[in-house]
Amino acid sequence: MTRDVAGIGLGLRYDLATELLERTPKNIAWLEIHPENYIDRGGRYQEMLDLAREDWPVITHGLSSCLGALEPFDASYLKELGTFLRDLEIPWHSEHLCLGGVDDRFFHDLLPLPFTEEAAAIASQRLIEMRDAIGVPLALENASYYAPQGPDGLAEADFVVEVLEKADAKLLLDVNNIYVNGRNFDFDPKLYIDKIPMERVVQIHVAGHFVRDDGLRIDTHGEPVPDDVYELLDYTLRKTGPVPVLLERDNNVPPLDELLSEIDELWTIYRNATGVGDAR
């Protein structure tokens, strides 16, 4: 059985959990967690997840099984992850389309894959393998990147689509990542969105990012969502229809009320773009 996930959600993070779980704001429809932060962990994290599940459906977004690695998956981890995910009754799990480690060493960051046939073949094969192992639907998420890869900024969109089609997979579309990449590599993010097969999109991420003095945009999830990203969300939702949207805020976490007004803004865009929209 899975629980219904619709409308606007928020990432459950340690820094905002106390206030969030006390107030249980009604304009947040669901929560997202990183399973690596909860698997085999007691204490406050266990308590946070138990409390969160009393009030919200929870969905999961993985950090460590990035789809671009070359080493075989750790079968015992996938088994543990599968058990954890099935207990949560999630409708799908998501992972990043990136390189998270090499030779069984972990970067704890999302490093870019080259947009090549070879990388697409490996990533799609791994996605299928992981989906089979965990026994729940698996979406890939498009990542942000900072190192240029050839002259065509939109090559990443073709790469993402190729992996999606090869693996017949779902997509967690991160519009902030597309915006960041568009600004860093000088392409129109809407042209990227136009290349995406919308029927594959099951979830959307929005976030803020950091602009360095030299203009490079870094995907920190540590700033408010900028207007351009709201606008790109509106553009995207008009194409996808009402898929659930998550506000990601991982760093520099402000008082909850600030995040709640961002959530309200997201609801307004969501309702206007899709004609649908009830909070909990």
Partner 1 sequence: MLADHAKAIHRVCFGSEPSEADLELLGSRERWLVYRDLVRNRLNHVIGVALARTKNAIGEEVFQRAVDEWFSTGGPTTRYLRYVPSELAEFAIPIWQRTEAPWVADLAGYEITAWEIRYGPPNPTPSHEFAFDRRPVLATAVKVLRLAYPVHNEPAPGAGYEPDPTILCLYRDKNHKAIPRKLNPLAADLLDAWRAGDQTVAESVQQVAAAHKTQIGPDFIEKLSTLIADFLNRGILLGGQDPPP
Residue 10's SS3 state is: strand
Check binding of 36 to Fe ion (CB under 5 A). no
The residue among 145 and 267 lying less far from partner 1, judged by its C-beta, is 145
Tokens read off for 155: 């090559």
Among the listed residues 244, 62, 207, 240, the one whose alpha carbon sits nearest the alpha carbon of residue 140 = 62
Q: In angstroms, rounded to a whole number, what is the distance separating the alpha carbons of residues 65 and 95?
A: 7
The CA-atom distances, in angstroms, between 228 and each of 98, 158, 183, 260, 265 are 25, 23, 11, 19, 13
The residue among 174 and 265 lying less far from Fe ion, judged by its C-beta, is 174
Query: Do the beta carbons of residue 191 and residue 230 sit within 8 Å?
Result: no
Which range in 67-75, 118-126, 158-166, 171-179 contacts Fe ion by CB under 5 A? Answer: 171-179
Check binding of 46 to partner 1 (CB under 8 A). yes
In the complex, what is the shortest distance from the CB of residue 142 to Fe ion, in angstroms, rounded to a whole number? 8
Q: Which residue has the tokens 């490996």?
A: 122
In the complex, what is the shortest distance from the CB of residue 53 to partner 1, in angstroms, rounded to a whole number? 15
Q: Which of 13, 93, 205, 249 binds Fe ion (CB under 5 A)?
A: 205
Check binding of 22 to partner 1 (CB under 8 A). no
Q: Are strands 105-111 and 99-102 parallel, antiparallel or unpaired?
A: antiparallel
Q: In angstroms, rounded to a whole number, what is the distance separating the alpha carbons of residues 265 and 251?
A: 20
Give the one entry of Fe ion, partner 1, none that residue 104 binds, where binding means its C-beta sits below a cut-off of 5 to 8 angstroms depending on kind.
partner 1
Tokens read off for 75: 């079968």
Give the one entry of Fe ion, partner 1, none that residue 111 binds, where binding means its C-beta sits below a cut-off of 5 to 8 angstroms depending on kind.
partner 1
Q: Which residue has the tokens 């308590």?
A: 47
Give the one entry of partner 1, Fe ion, none that residue 205 binds, where binding means its C-beta sits below a cut-off of 5 to 8 angstroms depending on kind.
Fe ion
Check binding of 77 to partner 1 (CB under 8 A). yes
Check binding of 147 to partner 1 (CB under 8 A). yes
Please count the residues of this chain forming the interface with partner 1, following the rule CB under 8 A.
42
The CA-atom distances, in angstroms, between 28 and each of 21, 37, 156, 257 are 11, 21, 32, 12
The residue among 80 and 89 lying less far from partner 1, judged by its C-beta, is 80
Interaction site with partner 1 (CB under 8 A): 36-37, 39-47, 63-65, 68-70, 74, 77, 99, 101-109, 111, 113-114, 116, 118-119, 122, 146-149, 216, 218
Interaction site with Fe ion (CB under 5 A): 174, 205
